[in-house]
A and B are shown apart, each in its own frame.
Chain A
Amino acid sequence: GAGVSQSPRYKVAKRGQDVALRCDPISGHVSLFWYQQALGQGPEFLTYFQNEAQLDKSGLPSDRFFAERPEGSVSTLKIQRTQQEDSAVYLCASSLYAGDEQYFGPGTRLTVT
């Protein structure tokens, strides 16, 4: 079956612009995670959804970051007023249930100029 997909794959934004990153999880997967991966680093947790409920957003670096999953499937990560330090690869992962194997998407590489 189809895996986790993310769009766009690449995004270039000028400093101060707003961006929206989309994640399509594997159909039927209850849990959805967003991670941020800086160059040469391991991914770092941003936020976690179980169905449409955002159960943990402790990893969001500032109030410029906002995530939603209104119908419990597709999720959007929005970054307002982008800054250069937001440049990273944003990874989405889904799992059938909490604690199960997380399947990762290909990521969106965001470059803020």
Chain B
Amino acid sequence: AQTVTQSQPEMSVQEAETVTLSCTYDTSENNYYLFWYKQPPSRQMILVIRQEAYKQQNATENRFSVNFQKAAKSFSLKISDSQLGDTAMYFCAFMKPGSGNYKLTFGKGTLLTVNP
């Protein structure tokens, strides 16, 4: 079974600064997807960024980018130019496609607070 570990329960950053959230995972699979989801206080989970394991290039979405290290099984999220609206719980998640079930396995989350 796959496991996802987020070792930082809480983090804070000043507005306009950069912050990196850590995620490690354990799997014996070679083909999989990794995700970062954001869950603001209203609780609607929103996809931030997605990475396919077969792609060597790190995914980027505007101010959000990942550092995907497949051999180390590490998948960190970098948020540049942090904004107050980035305050939320951030969850790292794993999916094994093609298995007949496309469920997400989540970490326990990191609460990020952006301070003005």
Interface string of A49-89 (1 = CB under 8 A from B): 00000011001000000000000000000000000000001
Most interface-central of A43, A45, A59, A93 (chain B CB within 10 A):
A43
* Number of residues on chain A facing chain B (CB within 8 A): 27
**Among all A-B residue pairs, the 3 with the closest Cβ atoms:** A42-B106, A104-B45, A45-B103
Interface residues of A in 76-113 (CB under 8 A from B): 89, 91, 93, 95, 98-99, 101-107
Across the interface, which residues of A come within 8 angstroms of B103, CB to CB? 33, 45, 48, 56, 59
Do residues A48 and B97 form an inter-chain contact, with CB atoms below 8 A? no
* Number of residues on chain B facing chain A (CB within 8 A): 25
Do residues B50 and A107 form an inter-chain contact, with CB atoms below 8 A? no
B100 within 8 A of A: yes
Which chain A residues have a beta carbon within 8 Å of chain B's beta carbons?
Answer: 3, 31, 33, 35, 40-45, 48, 55-56, 59, 89, 91, 93, 95, 98-99, 101-107
